Structure 1
Amino acid sequence: MQVHVKRRDIESDVAILHTNQKTIGFVPTMGALHQGHIALVKRALEENDTVIVSIFVNPTQFNNSEDLALYPRTLQSDIALLSEVSSDIIIFSPTAKEVYGNTMISTKYDFGGLENEMEGKYRLDHFNGVGTVLKHFFSIVNPTNAYFGEKDFQQLQIVKKLVAIENLSVNIIGCPIYRETSGLALSSRNKRLTEKQLKESPFIYDTLQAVKKDFGIKNVITLREWVSQQFEKNDTLSLEYFEIASVEDLKSAHKIEPDTKYRAFIAAFAGEVRLIDNIALN
Protein backbone atom coordinates (compact mmCIF):
# COMPACT_ATOMS: atom_id res chain seq x y z
CA MET A 1 0.00 0.00 0.00
CA GLN A 2 1.33 3.40 -0.97
CA VAL A 3 0.96 6.34 1.43
CA HIS A 4 1.86 9.75 0.00
CA VAL A 5 2.18 12.97 1.94
CA LYS A 6 3.68 15.06 -0.86
CA ARG A 7 1.61 16.53 -3.66
CA ARG A 8 4.29 15.86 -6.25
CA ASP A 9 4.34 12.14 -5.40
CA ILE A 10 0.60 11.60 -5.79
CA GLU A 11 0.59 13.69 -8.99
CA SER A 12 3.37 11.47 -10.37
CA ASP A 13 1.29 8.34 -9.69
CA VAL A 14 -1.80 9.95 -11.22
CA ALA A 15 0.12 10.91 -14.37
CA ILE A 16 1.26 7.30 -14.84
CA LEU A 17 -2.27 5.99 -14.31
CA HIS A 18 -3.69 8.34 -16.90
CA THR A 19 -0.90 7.52 -19.36
CA ASN A 20 -1.90 3.86 -19.00
CA GLN A 21 -5.58 4.83 -19.43
CA LYS A 22 -6.56 3.59 -15.97
CA THR A 23 -9.73 4.80 -14.30
CA ILE A 24 -9.33 6.39 -10.88
CA GLY A 25 -11.89 6.21 -8.11
CA PHE A 26 -11.49 8.88 -5.43
CA VAL A 27 -12.82 8.77 -1.86
CA PRO A 28 -12.11 12.04 -0.01
CA THR A 29 -12.19 11.69 3.79
CA MET A 30 -11.15 13.55 6.92
CA GLY A 31 -9.94 10.32 8.49
CA ALA A 32 -11.21 8.59 11.64
CA LEU A 33 -12.44 6.01 9.16
CA HIS A 34 -15.41 3.75 9.84
CA GLN A 35 -17.42 1.18 7.89
CA GLY A 36 -19.32 3.90 6.08
CA HIS A 37 -16.06 5.07 4.52
CA ILE A 38 -15.11 1.47 3.80
CA ALA A 39 -18.38 0.94 1.93
CA LEU A 40 -17.46 3.88 -0.33
CA VAL A 41 -13.97 2.47 -0.86
CA LYS A 42 -15.29 -0.99 -1.73
CA ARG A 43 -17.68 0.45 -4.29
CA ALA A 44 -14.87 2.51 -5.78
CA LEU A 45 -12.71 -0.61 -6.03
CA GLU A 46 -15.49 -2.42 -7.88
CA GLU A 47 -15.95 0.37 -10.42
CA ASN A 48 -12.40 1.61 -11.08
CA ASP A 49 -8.93 0.33 -11.91
CA THR A 50 -7.32 2.23 -9.02
CA VAL A 51 -8.64 3.87 -5.86
CA ILE A 52 -7.15 6.88 -4.11
CA VAL A 53 -8.30 7.76 -0.57
CA SER A 54 -7.43 11.17 0.83
CA ILE A 55 -7.13 11.64 4.59
CA PHE A 56 -7.10 15.34 5.40
CA VAL A 57 -8.83 17.33 8.13
CA ASN A 58 -9.66 20.47 6.17
CA PRO A 59 -9.34 23.62 8.31
CA THR A 60 -11.31 25.88 5.95
CA GLN A 61 -14.60 24.03 6.38
CA PHE A 62 -14.72 24.42 10.17
CA ASN A 63 -16.42 27.51 11.55
CA ASN A 64 -15.75 26.29 15.09
CA SER A 65 -12.08 26.18 16.09
CA GLU A 66 -12.83 23.88 19.03
CA ASP A 67 -14.58 21.40 16.72
CA LEU A 68 -11.50 21.44 14.46
CA ALA A 69 -9.17 20.85 17.40
CA LEU A 70 -11.27 17.97 18.76
CA TYR A 71 -11.85 16.27 15.41
CA PRO A 72 -10.39 12.74 15.75
CA ARG A 73 -7.12 12.10 13.95
CA THR A 74 -6.27 8.40 13.69
CA LEU A 75 -4.01 8.08 10.66
CA GLN A 76 -2.23 4.86 11.60
CA SER A 77 -5.44 2.98 12.39
CA ASP A 78 -6.98 4.42 9.21
CA ILE A 79 -4.10 3.01 7.16
CA ALA A 80 -4.45 -0.35 8.90
CA LEU A 81 -8.19 -0.45 8.20
CA LEU A 82 -7.71 0.35 4.52
CA SER A 83 -4.95 -2.25 4.21
CA GLU A 84 -7.46 -4.90 5.28
CA VAL A 85 -9.66 -3.95 2.33
CA SER A 86 -7.01 -3.90 -0.39
CA SER A 87 -3.26 -3.48 -0.71
CA ASP A 88 -3.80 -1.64 -4.00
CA ILE A 89 -5.33 1.49 -2.45
CA ILE A 90 -3.26 4.67 -2.69
CA ILE A 91 -3.53 6.92 0.37
CA PHE A 92 -2.90 10.66 0.16
CA SER A 93 -2.48 12.30 3.57
CA PRO A 94 -1.04 15.77 2.98
CA THR A 95 -0.40 18.74 5.25
CA ALA A 96 -2.45 21.90 4.75
CA LYS A 97 0.53 23.52 3.03
CA GLU A 98 0.72 20.69 0.49
CA VAL A 99 -2.93 21.30 -0.40
CA TYR A 100 -3.18 25.08 -0.15
CA GLY A 101 0.37 26.31 -0.48
CA ASN A 102 1.10 29.42 1.60
CA THR A 103 -2.38 30.90 1.26
CA MET A 104 -5.13 28.97 3.03
CA ILE A 105 -8.13 30.99 1.89
CA SER A 106 -11.51 29.69 0.73
CA THR A 107 -12.90 30.63 -2.66
CA LYS A 108 -16.28 32.35 -2.43
CA TYR A 109 -18.72 30.22 -4.43
CA ASP A 110 -22.23 30.84 -5.64
CA PHE A 111 -23.86 27.43 -5.50
CA GLY A 112 -27.21 28.74 -6.69
CA GLY A 113 -28.61 29.05 -3.19
CA LEU A 114 -27.82 25.48 -2.10
CA GLU A 115 -25.19 26.89 0.26
CA ASN A 116 -27.74 29.03 2.13
CA GLU A 117 -30.02 26.24 3.33
CA MET A 118 -29.76 24.11 6.48
CA GLU A 119 -26.05 23.56 7.16
CA GLY A 120 -25.26 26.86 5.46
CA LYS A 121 -27.41 28.75 7.96
CA TYR A 122 -25.53 27.34 10.94
CA ARG A 123 -22.00 26.87 9.60
CA LEU A 124 -20.77 30.12 8.08
CA ASP A 125 -18.52 29.63 5.02
CA HIS A 126 -18.59 25.85 5.52
CA PHE A 127 -19.44 25.06 1.91
CA ASN A 128 -16.91 27.55 0.56
CA GLY A 129 -14.32 25.52 2.46
CA VAL A 130 -15.70 22.24 1.13
CA GLY A 131 -15.75 23.52 -2.43
CA THR A 132 -12.25 24.96 -2.18
CA VAL A 133 -10.58 21.84 -0.80
CA LEU A 134 -12.36 19.56 -3.26
CA LYS A 135 -11.34 21.77 -6.17
CA HIS A 136 -7.72 21.32 -5.01
CA PHE A 137 -8.10 17.56 -4.59
CA PHE A 138 -9.86 17.10 -7.93
CA SER A 139 -6.98 18.99 -9.56
CA ILE A 140 -4.37 16.85 -7.81
CA VAL A 141 -6.05 13.45 -8.18
CA ASN A 142 -7.86 14.04 -11.49
CA PRO A 143 -10.31 11.20 -10.74
CA THR A 144 -12.70 9.47 -13.08
CA ASN A 145 -15.27 8.97 -10.31
CA ALA A 146 -15.57 10.44 -6.80
CA TYR A 147 -17.69 8.87 -4.06
CA PHE A 148 -19.67 10.64 -1.33
CA GLY A 149 -22.08 9.34 1.29
CA GLU A 150 -25.67 10.58 1.36
CA LYS A 151 -25.47 11.29 5.10
CA ASP A 152 -24.06 14.64 4.00
CA PHE A 153 -26.74 15.00 1.34
CA GLN A 154 -26.50 18.79 1.14
CA GLN A 155 -22.75 18.47 0.62
CA LEU A 156 -23.36 15.91 -2.13
CA GLN A 157 -25.58 18.39 -3.99
CA ILE A 158 -23.00 21.14 -3.45
CA VAL A 159 -20.24 18.95 -4.91
CA LYS A 160 -22.31 18.23 -8.00
CA LYS A 161 -22.84 21.98 -8.41
CA LEU A 162 -19.10 22.60 -7.92
CA VAL A 163 -18.30 20.20 -10.77
CA ALA A 164 -20.70 22.11 -13.04
CA ILE A 165 -19.32 25.52 -12.00
CA GLU A 166 -15.68 24.50 -12.52
CA ASN A 167 -16.50 22.44 -15.64
CA LEU A 168 -14.76 19.37 -14.24
CA SER A 169 -14.87 15.94 -15.88
CA VAL A 170 -15.21 13.92 -12.66
CA ASN A 171 -18.37 11.86 -12.17
CA ILE A 172 -19.90 12.37 -8.69
CA ILE A 173 -21.50 9.26 -7.20
CA GLY A 174 -23.73 9.38 -4.12
CA CYS A 175 -23.85 6.26 -1.94
CA PRO A 176 -26.46 5.16 0.62
CA ILE A 177 -26.07 6.05 4.29
CA TYR A 178 -24.28 3.33 6.26
CA ARG A 179 -25.87 2.73 9.65
CA GLU A 180 -25.29 0.89 12.88
CA THR A 181 -27.78 -1.91 13.57
CA SER A 182 -29.46 0.63 15.88
CA GLY A 183 -30.07 2.92 12.90
CA LEU A 184 -27.53 5.56 13.93
CA ALA A 185 -25.76 6.96 10.86
CA LEU A 186 -22.03 6.24 11.05
CA SER A 187 -19.90 9.33 11.56
CA SER A 188 -16.35 9.97 12.70
CA ARG A 189 -17.85 12.21 15.37
CA ASN A 190 -19.60 9.19 16.94
CA LYS A 191 -16.25 8.35 18.54
CA ARG A 192 -16.70 11.40 20.79
CA LEU A 193 -20.08 10.24 22.14
CA THR A 194 -20.42 8.99 25.71
CA GLU A 195 -21.98 5.60 26.32
CA LYS A 196 -25.30 7.23 27.21
CA GLN A 197 -25.22 9.53 24.16
CA LEU A 198 -24.41 6.61 21.89
CA LYS A 199 -27.38 4.71 23.29
CA GLU A 200 -29.76 7.66 22.83
CA SER A 201 -28.57 8.90 19.41
CA PRO A 202 -30.57 6.36 17.31
CA PHE A 203 -33.53 8.50 18.38
CA ILE A 204 -32.60 10.76 15.44
CA TYR A 205 -33.18 8.03 12.85
CA ASP A 206 -36.28 6.77 14.67
CA THR A 207 -37.71 10.28 14.37
CA LEU A 208 -36.91 10.46 10.67
CA GLN A 209 -38.58 7.10 10.07
CA ALA A 210 -41.71 8.30 11.86
CA VAL A 211 -41.75 11.42 9.67
CA LYS A 212 -41.43 9.27 6.55
CA LYS A 213 -44.36 7.12 7.70
CA ASP A 214 -46.60 10.18 8.16
CA PHE A 215 -45.37 12.11 5.11
CA GLY A 216 -48.32 12.78 2.81
CA ILE A 217 -50.76 12.03 5.62
CA LYS A 218 -49.87 14.95 7.89
CA ASN A 219 -48.94 18.38 6.56
CA VAL A 220 -45.43 19.82 6.75
CA ILE A 221 -46.19 22.25 9.58
CA THR A 222 -47.66 19.48 11.73
CA LEU A 223 -44.64 17.26 11.12
CA ARG A 224 -42.22 20.05 12.07
CA GLU A 225 -44.11 20.75 15.28
CA TRP A 226 -44.18 17.05 16.14
CA VAL A 227 -40.42 16.65 15.67
CA SER A 228 -39.75 19.70 17.82
CA GLN A 229 -41.96 18.29 20.57
CA GLN A 230 -40.20 14.92 20.48
CA PHE A 231 -36.79 16.50 20.96
CA GLU A 232 -38.07 18.70 23.78
CA LYS A 233 -38.89 15.48 25.64
CA ASN A 234 -35.39 14.07 25.11
CA ASP A 235 -32.90 14.96 27.85
CA THR A 236 -29.82 13.79 25.90
CA LEU A 237 -30.28 15.31 22.44
CA SER A 238 -31.06 18.91 21.53
CA LEU A 239 -32.47 19.79 18.12
CA GLU A 240 -30.63 22.38 16.03
CA TYR A 241 -32.91 22.11 13.01
CA PHE A 242 -35.42 19.87 11.31
CA GLU A 243 -36.34 20.49 7.68
CA ILE A 244 -38.40 18.90 4.96
CA ALA A 245 -36.85 20.10 1.73
CA SER A 246 -36.95 19.56 -1.99
CA VAL A 247 -34.12 17.32 -3.17
CA GLU A 248 -33.45 19.57 -6.16
CA ASP A 249 -32.94 22.96 -4.51
CA LEU A 250 -32.98 22.03 -0.78
CA LYS A 251 -35.43 24.82 -0.06
CA SER A 252 -37.67 24.35 2.95
CA ALA A 253 -41.07 22.97 1.96
CA HIS A 254 -44.24 24.74 3.07
CA LYS A 255 -46.54 22.28 1.37
CA ILE A 256 -46.11 19.12 -0.65
CA GLU A 257 -45.97 19.78 -4.38
CA PRO A 258 -46.75 17.06 -6.94
CA ASP A 259 -43.86 15.55 -8.94
CA THR A 260 -41.31 16.78 -6.39
CA LYS A 261 -38.93 14.60 -4.40
CA TYR A 262 -38.41 15.46 -0.73
CA ARG A 263 -36.05 14.52 2.07
CA ALA A 264 -36.22 15.15 5.80
CA PHE A 265 -33.09 16.50 7.50
CA ILE A 266 -32.08 16.68 11.15
CA ALA A 267 -29.11 18.28 12.90
CA ALA A 268 -28.90 17.71 16.67
CA PHE A 269 -26.40 17.95 19.49
CA ALA A 270 -25.46 15.23 21.93
CA GLY A 271 -23.58 17.39 24.40
CA GLU A 272 -20.93 19.13 22.30
CA VAL A 273 -21.09 16.57 19.48
CA ARG A 274 -23.08 17.62 16.43
CA LEU A 275 -24.89 14.85 14.52
CA ILE A 276 -26.72 15.02 11.20
CA ASP A 277 -28.95 12.59 9.35
CA ASN A 278 -31.57 12.55 6.62
CA ILE A 279 -34.05 10.27 4.90
CA ALA A 280 -35.80 10.15 1.51
CA LEU A 281 -39.52 10.72 1.97
CA ASN A 282 -40.92 9.84 -1.45
Structure 2
Amino acid sequence: MERVEYVRELRERRAAWRRAGQRVALVPTMGHLHAGHLALISEAARYAGRVVATVFVNPLQFGAGEDFAAYPRTLERDARMLREAGCDLLFAPAETEVYPRGRDGQTFVEVPGLSDDLCGSSRPGHFRGVATVVAKLFNMVQPEVAVFGEKDFQQLLVIRRMAADLDLPIEIVGAPTVREADGLAMSSRNAYLSTAERAIAPRLYQTLIAAAARLRAGASSTEIEQEGMDALSAAGFVPDYLSIRRRADLLPPAEPPRDEADRALILLAAARLGRARLIDNLACDLGVPVA
Protein backbone atom coordinates (compact mmCIF):
# COMPACT_ATOMS: atom_id res chain seq x y z
CA MET A 1 0.00 0.00 0.00
CA GLU A 2 1.23 3.47 -0.88
CA ARG A 3 0.75 6.41 1.45
CA VAL A 4 0.66 10.01 0.28
CA GLU A 5 0.04 13.37 1.92
CA TYR A 6 -0.26 15.76 -1.01
CA VAL A 7 -2.90 16.17 -3.72
CA ARG A 8 -0.14 16.34 -6.33
CA GLU A 9 1.06 12.84 -5.42
CA LEU A 10 -2.49 11.52 -5.23
CA ARG A 11 -3.31 12.77 -8.71
CA GLU A 12 -0.14 11.25 -10.13
CA ARG A 13 -1.20 7.81 -8.85
CA ARG A 14 -4.76 8.36 -10.07
CA ALA A 15 -3.58 9.34 -13.53
CA ALA A 16 -1.45 6.19 -13.82
CA TRP A 17 -4.43 4.02 -12.86
CA ARG A 18 -6.62 5.81 -15.39
CA ARG A 19 -4.08 5.18 -18.15
CA ALA A 20 -4.15 1.50 -17.18
CA GLY A 21 -7.95 1.47 -17.41
CA GLN A 22 -8.41 0.75 -13.69
CA ARG A 23 -11.53 1.82 -11.79
CA VAL A 24 -11.06 3.47 -8.39
CA ALA A 25 -13.24 3.19 -5.28
CA LEU A 26 -12.93 5.68 -2.42
CA VAL A 27 -13.52 5.11 1.30
CA PRO A 28 -13.35 8.41 3.23
CA THR A 29 -12.70 8.09 6.98
CA MET A 30 -11.66 10.19 9.95
CA GLY A 31 -9.37 7.42 11.16
CA HIS A 32 -9.23 5.45 14.42
CA LEU A 33 -10.34 2.55 12.29
CA HIS A 34 -12.29 -0.52 13.38
CA ALA A 35 -13.82 -3.59 11.73
CA GLY A 36 -16.65 -1.49 10.30
CA HIS A 37 -14.18 0.58 8.29
CA LEU A 38 -12.41 -2.54 7.06
CA ALA A 39 -15.76 -3.87 5.85
CA LEU A 40 -16.05 -0.70 3.75
CA ILE A 41 -12.64 -1.46 2.22
CA SER A 42 -13.80 -4.98 1.34
CA GLU A 43 -17.02 -3.62 -0.15
CA ALA A 44 -15.08 -1.06 -2.19
CA ALA A 45 -12.88 -3.81 -3.65
CA ARG A 46 -16.02 -5.43 -5.11
CA TYR A 47 -16.59 -2.36 -7.29
CA ALA A 48 -13.12 -1.38 -8.44
CA GLY A 49 -9.62 -2.67 -9.02
CA ARG A 50 -8.05 0.05 -6.88
CA VAL A 51 -9.17 1.17 -3.43
CA VAL A 52 -8.21 4.53 -1.93
CA ALA A 53 -8.86 5.29 1.74
CA THR A 54 -8.56 8.74 3.24
CA VAL A 55 -7.83 9.59 6.86
CA PHE A 56 -8.62 13.19 7.70
CA VAL A 57 -10.22 14.53 10.88
CA ASN A 58 -12.31 17.24 9.28
CA PRO A 59 -12.58 20.34 11.51
CA LEU A 60 -15.49 21.79 9.52
CA GLN A 61 -17.93 19.12 10.69
CA PHE A 62 -17.28 19.71 14.40
CA GLY A 63 -19.28 22.36 16.19
CA ALA A 64 -18.27 24.55 19.12
CA GLY A 65 -17.72 22.43 22.22
CA GLU A 66 -17.55 19.16 20.28
CA ASP A 67 -14.69 16.69 20.38
CA PHE A 68 -12.44 17.83 17.51
CA ALA A 69 -9.35 18.23 19.72
CA ALA A 70 -10.01 14.99 21.58
CA TYR A 71 -11.01 12.88 18.57
CA PRO A 72 -8.68 9.84 18.52
CA ARG A 73 -5.86 10.09 16.00
CA THR A 74 -4.08 6.78 15.37
CA LEU A 75 -2.61 7.17 11.91
CA GLU A 76 0.16 4.57 12.12
CA ARG A 77 -2.26 1.95 13.44
CA ASP A 78 -4.78 2.92 10.77
CA ALA A 79 -2.17 2.58 8.02
CA ARG A 80 -1.23 -0.89 9.23
CA MET A 81 -4.87 -1.99 9.30
CA LEU A 82 -5.52 -0.63 5.82
CA ARG A 83 -2.44 -2.35 4.43
CA GLU A 84 -3.55 -5.67 5.91
CA ALA A 85 -7.06 -5.14 4.50
CA GLY A 86 -5.72 -4.80 0.96
CA CYS A 87 -6.14 -1.05 0.48
CA ASP A 88 -4.04 0.25 -2.42
CA LEU A 89 -3.45 3.84 -1.32
CA LEU A 90 -3.87 5.88 1.84
CA PHE A 91 -4.31 9.62 1.44
CA ALA A 92 -3.63 11.29 4.79
CA PRO A 93 -3.36 15.04 4.19
CA ALA A 94 -2.66 17.82 6.65
CA GLU A 95 -5.38 20.40 7.24
CA THR A 96 -3.44 22.98 5.22
CA GLU A 97 -3.50 20.64 2.21
CA VAL A 98 -7.29 20.29 2.35
CA TYR A 99 -8.05 23.91 3.32
CA PRO A 100 -5.13 25.98 2.00
CA ARG A 101 -7.05 29.25 2.60
CA GLY A 102 -7.94 28.23 6.13
CA ARG A 103 -11.28 27.23 7.57
CA ASP A 104 -12.85 30.67 7.19
CA GLY A 105 -11.65 31.12 3.62
CA GLN A 106 -13.04 27.83 2.32
CA THR A 107 -15.84 27.68 -0.25
CA PHE A 108 -18.65 25.58 1.23
CA VAL A 109 -21.00 22.98 -0.20
CA GLU A 110 -24.41 22.73 1.42
CA VAL A 111 -27.34 20.37 0.84
CA PRO A 112 -30.55 22.12 1.95
CA GLY A 113 -33.38 20.31 3.65
CA LEU A 114 -31.68 17.00 4.37
CA SER A 115 -28.91 18.75 6.31
CA ASP A 116 -31.18 20.67 8.67
CA ASP A 117 -33.11 17.91 10.46
CA LEU A 118 -32.26 15.15 12.97
CA CYS A 119 -28.47 15.31 13.53
CA GLY A 120 -28.38 18.53 11.52
CA SER A 121 -30.76 20.17 13.98
CA SER A 122 -28.67 19.33 17.03
CA ARG A 123 -25.33 19.87 15.23
CA PRO A 124 -25.76 23.05 13.16
CA GLY A 125 -23.28 23.23 10.28
CA HIS A 126 -22.23 19.58 10.66
CA PHE A 127 -23.50 18.40 7.29
CA ARG A 128 -22.19 21.50 5.55
CA GLY A 129 -18.75 20.46 6.80
CA VAL A 130 -19.34 16.87 5.67
CA ALA A 131 -20.58 17.85 2.21
CA THR A 132 -17.69 20.28 1.75
CA VAL A 133 -14.92 17.84 2.64
CA VAL A 134 -16.48 14.96 0.71
CA ALA A 135 -16.89 17.14 -2.39
CA LYS A 136 -13.23 18.08 -2.14
CA LEU A 137 -12.15 14.46 -1.68
CA PHE A 138 -14.26 13.45 -4.67
CA ASN A 139 -12.47 16.04 -6.78
CA MET A 140 -9.05 15.10 -5.42
CA VAL A 141 -9.42 11.32 -5.90
CA GLN A 142 -11.85 11.31 -8.86
CA PRO A 143 -13.22 7.85 -8.05
CA GLU A 144 -15.84 5.96 -10.00
CA VAL A 145 -17.32 4.63 -6.74
CA ALA A 146 -17.43 5.85 -3.12
CA VAL A 147 -18.48 3.67 -0.18
CA PHE A 148 -20.07 4.93 3.05
CA GLY A 149 -21.49 3.09 6.04
CA GLU A 150 -25.25 2.99 6.55
CA LYS A 151 -24.84 3.64 10.27
CA ASP A 152 -24.55 7.31 9.33
CA PHE A 153 -27.72 7.06 7.23
CA GLN A 154 -28.49 10.77 7.13
CA GLN A 155 -24.92 11.45 6.02
CA LEU A 156 -25.28 8.84 3.28
CA LEU A 157 -28.39 10.54 1.91
CA VAL A 158 -26.78 13.98 2.12
CA ILE A 159 -23.83 12.74 0.06
CA ARG A 160 -26.07 11.02 -2.48
CA ARG A 161 -28.08 14.22 -2.92
CA MET A 162 -24.92 16.31 -3.23
CA ALA A 163 -23.45 14.01 -5.88
CA ALA A 164 -26.71 14.03 -7.85
CA ASP A 165 -27.22 17.79 -7.60
CA LEU A 166 -23.63 18.54 -8.66
CA ASP A 167 -23.75 15.96 -11.50
CA LEU A 168 -20.76 14.09 -10.12
CA PRO A 169 -20.18 10.84 -12.06
CA ILE A 170 -19.68 8.79 -8.91
CA GLU A 171 -21.70 5.80 -7.73
CA ILE A 172 -22.47 6.17 -4.01
CA VAL A 173 -22.65 2.78 -2.29
CA GLY A 174 -24.11 2.25 1.19
CA ALA A 175 -22.61 -0.63 3.18
CA PRO A 176 -24.49 -2.35 6.04
CA THR A 177 -23.72 -1.39 9.63
CA VAL A 178 -21.19 -3.65 11.33
CA ARG A 179 -22.08 -4.49 14.93
CA GLU A 180 -20.46 -5.91 18.01
CA ALA A 181 -21.74 -9.28 19.23
CA ASP A 182 -24.22 -7.53 21.56
CA GLY A 183 -25.63 -5.35 18.77
CA LEU A 184 -23.78 -2.09 19.41
CA ALA A 185 -22.95 -0.38 16.12
CA MET A 186 -19.20 -0.06 15.69
CA SER A 187 -18.00 3.52 15.97
CA SER A 188 -14.72 5.29 16.65
CA ARG A 189 -16.48 7.18 19.43
CA ASN A 190 -17.22 3.94 21.30
CA ALA A 191 -13.70 4.39 22.67
CA TYR A 192 -15.11 7.17 24.88
CA LEU A 193 -17.39 4.74 26.76
CA SER A 194 -16.47 3.65 30.27
CA THR A 195 -16.91 0.00 31.22
CA ALA A 196 -20.28 0.74 32.81
CA GLU A 197 -21.42 2.83 29.82
CA ARG A 198 -20.31 0.14 27.39
CA ALA A 199 -22.66 -2.28 29.16
CA ILE A 200 -25.55 0.14 28.64
CA ALA A 201 -24.74 1.16 25.06
CA PRO A 202 -26.42 -1.82 23.29
CA ARG A 203 -29.75 -0.62 24.66
CA LEU A 204 -29.80 1.96 21.87
CA TYR A 205 -30.14 -0.74 19.22
CA GLN A 206 -32.48 -2.78 21.40
CA THR A 207 -34.76 0.25 21.71
CA LEU A 208 -34.88 0.56 17.93
CA ILE A 209 -35.77 -3.13 17.59
CA ALA A 210 -38.61 -2.72 20.10
CA ALA A 211 -39.82 0.42 18.31
CA ALA A 212 -39.84 -1.37 14.96
CA ALA A 213 -41.97 -4.16 16.45
CA ARG A 214 -44.46 -1.59 17.74
CA LEU A 215 -44.53 0.08 14.33
CA ARG A 216 -45.33 -3.18 12.57
CA ALA A 217 -48.05 -3.83 15.15
CA GLY A 218 -49.80 -0.62 14.11
CA ALA A 219 -48.87 1.86 16.85
CA SER A 220 -48.62 5.51 15.80
CA SER A 221 -45.26 7.12 15.07
CA THR A 222 -45.79 9.78 17.73
CA GLU A 223 -46.50 7.19 20.40
CA ILE A 224 -43.54 5.01 19.39
CA GLU A 225 -41.12 7.94 19.29
CA GLN A 226 -42.09 9.08 22.79
CA GLU A 227 -41.87 5.54 24.16
CA GLY A 228 -38.42 5.19 22.65
CA MET A 229 -37.19 8.47 24.11
CA ASP A 230 -38.52 7.45 27.53
CA ALA A 231 -36.84 4.04 27.29
CA LEU A 232 -33.49 5.61 26.41
CA SER A 233 -33.73 8.07 29.30
CA ALA A 234 -34.60 5.25 31.70
CA ALA A 235 -31.55 3.29 30.51
CA GLY A 236 -29.20 6.17 31.31
CA PHE A 237 -28.90 7.92 27.95
CA VAL A 238 -29.53 11.58 27.25
CA PRO A 239 -31.55 11.13 24.07
CA ASP A 240 -31.36 13.59 21.22
CA TYR A 241 -34.04 12.03 19.05
CA LEU A 242 -35.73 8.79 18.09
CA SER A 243 -37.60 9.34 14.86
CA ILE A 244 -39.46 7.33 12.23
CA ARG A 245 -38.81 8.49 8.67
CA ARG A 246 -39.12 7.43 5.06
CA ARG A 247 -35.91 5.79 3.86
CA ALA A 248 -36.06 7.51 0.49
CA ASP A 249 -35.89 11.10 1.72
CA LEU A 250 -36.09 11.14 5.57
CA LEU A 251 -39.45 12.88 5.48
CA PRO A 252 -42.05 11.87 8.10
CA PRO A 253 -44.31 9.16 6.66
CA ALA A 254 -48.00 9.76 6.09
CA GLU A 255 -50.30 7.87 8.45
CA PRO A 256 -51.97 5.89 7.03
CA PRO A 257 -49.40 5.32 4.26
CA ARG A 258 -50.22 6.90 0.90
CA ASP A 259 -47.65 5.10 -1.22
CA GLU A 260 -44.70 2.70 -1.12
CA ALA A 261 -42.34 5.39 0.19
CA ASP A 262 -44.53 5.69 3.30
CA ARG A 263 -44.06 1.95 3.90
CA ALA A 264 -40.28 1.73 3.38
CA LEU A 265 -39.23 3.30 6.67
CA ILE A 266 -36.20 3.75 8.85
CA LEU A 267 -36.01 4.36 12.59
CA LEU A 268 -33.15 6.66 13.56
CA ALA A 269 -31.82 7.52 17.01
CA ALA A 270 -29.10 9.62 18.56
CA ALA A 271 -28.27 9.78 22.25
CA ARG A 272 -25.46 10.79 24.53
CA LEU A 273 -23.93 8.36 26.97
CA GLY A 274 -21.19 9.95 29.02
CA ARG A 275 -18.75 11.59 26.59
CA ALA A 276 -20.01 9.63 23.60
CA ARG A 277 -22.74 10.66 21.21
CA LEU A 278 -24.06 7.44 19.70
CA ILE A 279 -26.20 7.12 16.57
CA ASP A 280 -27.94 4.11 15.08
CA ASN A 281 -30.78 3.18 12.76
CA LEU A 282 -32.94 0.26 11.74
CA ALA A 283 -34.88 -0.26 8.51
CA CYS A 284 -38.53 -1.25 8.85
CA ASP A 285 -40.80 -2.22 5.94
CA LEU A 286 -44.49 -2.23 6.72
CA GLY A 287 -45.48 -4.30 3.68
CA VAL A 288 -48.58 -4.01 1.55
CA PRO A 289 -51.91 -4.56 3.32
CA VAL A 290 -54.08 -7.42 2.10
CA ALA A 291 -57.10 -6.12 0.13
Is 1:178 matched with 2:178?
yes
| Aligned residue runs from structure 1 range 102-113, under 5 A | 102-105=101-104, 107-113=107-113
Q: How far did 1:66 drift? A: 4.1
- For the 8 Å contact 1:220–1:256, the answer to whether it is kept is no
C-alpha separation in 1, matches of 2:142 and 2:83: 23
Give the letter for the 2:71 counterpart.
Y
- For the 8 Å contact 1:50–1:89, the answer to whether it is kept is yes
- For the 8 Å contact 1:263–1:280, the answer to whether it is kept is yes
Is 1:214 matched with 2:217?
no
Aligned to 1:137: 137
Q: How far did 1:256 drift? A: 4.5
| Aligned residue runs from structure 1 range 177-196, under 5 A | 177-196=177-196
Specify every segment of 5 or more residues in structure 1 that has no aligned partner in the other structure, as ranges: none
Is 1:202 matched with 2:202?
yes
Aligned to 2:289: none
Aligned to 1:268: 271
SS in 2 for 1:233: helix
Give the letter for the 2:19 counterpart.
T
Q: How far did 1:14 drift? A: 0.6
Task: With the length of structure 1 as denominator, give the TM-score of the two structures.
Answer: 0.95
- Coordinate RMSD, CA, aligned: 1.5
C-alpha separation in 2, matches of 1:267 and 1:9: 39
Q: How far did 1:218 drift? A: 1.0
Task: With the length of structure 2 as denominator, give the TM-score of the two structures.
Answer: 0.92
Q: 1:251 to 1:109 in 2, by over 3 A?
A: farther
Is 1:74 matched with 2:71?
no
- For the 8 Å contact 1:149–1:177, the answer to whether it is kept is yes
Give the letter for the 2:214 counterpart.
D
Q: How far did 1:82 drift? A: 1.3
Give the letter for the 1:221 counterpart.
T
Q: How far did 1:107 drift? A: 4.3
| Aligned residue runs from structure 1 range 226-265, under 5 A | 226-235=227-236, 237-253=237-253, 255-257=255-257, 258-260=259-261, 261-265=264-268
Deviations 1:13-54 (A, max 9, x none): 011111211100100000000000000001112321100000
Aligned to 2:282: 279
Aligned to 2:169: 169
Aligned residues: 280
Aligned to 1:92: 91
- For the 8 Å contact 2:245–2:266, the answer to whether it is kept is yes
Give the letter for the 1:116 counterpart.
D
Percent of pairs with identical residues: 34
C-alpha separation in 2, matches of 1:74 and 1:273: 18
Aligned to 2:153: 153
Q: 1:46 to 1:109 in 2, by over 3 A?
A: closer
Give the letter for the 1:152 counterpart.
D
